[in-house]
Structure 1
């Protein structure tokens, strides 16, 4: 059977693809201010969705004759090398060839534009060689029809072994195994190769006739020494087993460089690690939402972007210091991401700002790539350029601590893609157009260090985890993760009500949600649906349940908490890369 499998193609989907001179299906092909290609790939036509966004959709001929262009040569990546056992004497199955893609976020499809990762290339190659295939697994991702797989974001080898139990009962014929990345940042990296071999033994016990394609790790921007040691060791171990007759194929990705990868490092959703193209496309989509007129009758709301900010303002006292704080914000982020994709054509990864990587360093937080004026989200506000309105006097909106004054300097943001943005709501419950305000506070840097993250992740109950993440305490330095992320940027982001007026709100809360997901996945049996806390800030208190319906004002229908606990299921359907 191995003669029918091109092992060098098994993971070729991880390599960078040559840029096309035409717009792919579901790519942007027009809209106000758009300056890119307007010609759709053959089989697609450019459909105007609104004044700011047109998209290539299936159907019809190309919208134009392809213009003559001089393409920049794309470097040809080195083909991954393979070591395989002699072709085994195995009977080709009479039914479909069962293929189990097994691994972490790369297998799931994180970072690939179509979500298919390497799986579609492998399926196409097997089909071309005469096989009818059936990909198996408990999760689905990608636009390929047969998109079943067993790829799990952030999973270690031990966790992947647990996930493999169910699909291995089907006795797959081919298993692609890409695992170990998330073991490179643990405390026992030295034994990771042994854990991989134990997983391979488990596979052969469950499916003795299977062929396993084992890939080593691609380059990482961290722990590269651990990666090098791991790669050398697993190659030796796999080749030893091949010589003993085990049906293994070793797929070496060591020749892949960071320039060959989709994001230059790893399919990583971290905002600071997004490709420049993804960052630019993300900010373009945000600005698109800031331009689409709103149909809401809510006072002060002018755009789709405003609708989300208004929702948070109106519900602030219902969704903080309560048991559904994390669940509500998770779905709020999902709704925002859906609007960016459906209405403004954003196709990049779910984003977050991993602020600990900036806080752990000796430099200023202001030097973070997230604040880059060209490829990031712009920098600090200019002192003296903004004066907040008088406090409302409404006890539900007590002042504006995030704005200039109270020891925090700041003003209108003057750099980056949002330097001319007009925020229509806030501070607090105020209504009125103003600039995007920031007031960096370096004193809050200590709140975001990785030791605080580790302390939060070490909590053993949901209640202690929730309160530690939202409020700090429990030996956590500074304001803690939630408050520290808001405070270090200051301005609009520090206002407890109108903070979604700064696009960085969604990256900050994306990281909080990622940390919650990491805590859930550390013990999914006991933590995936773990929940506790009150449903209100004030008495009479009622304990939260999974059936509690969370409100979302005009942007969405109420939703039960249980519906958002698993991000790999509807309605979330996304993964974090680490």
Structure 2
């Protein structure tokens, strides 16, 4: 026979678990993922957005909440992922995410929800942030950040070499060949944040990026070798860039 004391303890545990599930996670805080037992509800106007099977995050204006990803981002391990059949969408429609890929976007002003792509779409050109309607799709495999083009072409992120220690930002572009040597380094997803490192350069923050418009107004993407939001070059904006695995990009 179960004692009244035992029933009281069980009831308290159930109520505590229910309270934890209904607690509100902070903005940009974790809200789900495999093994997560904390808050799963986001503040008003924010949604619990899947980054991978282990991590979901409260993001503004994001897709519907979920703690089990239908299209997880590819882990940054050699040999992961595969070529998509196509990333193309019908004319006038939004890009549709291919399983195993991620969109990558900024989440701070003045480039909130601007998406990573090539300056000339689908070609080996400068890396820029652009409108959500032209968002490209990506995987990180073996430390390489790979843009998956609709025709099956792979474009690899290449970071310019550092000419001397006074240089504090390195431009990123896309190449049809994998990055190597001084133009390589290692890309990883840390949670949903894109980070870059290379043994020859010590960075205070491996997730620090800069967006600096060129003369034509293209929002060129640079690796920031300094601290985030410190001594920002004139005309540039500090950014972090994040994976997003909603079915379509959001503005």
Same fold (TM over 0.5): no
Higher relative contact order (CA closer than 8 Å, sequence separation 6+): 2
Higher helix residue share: 1
Q: Pick the structure with more strand per residue.
A: 2
Greater C-alpha Rg: 1
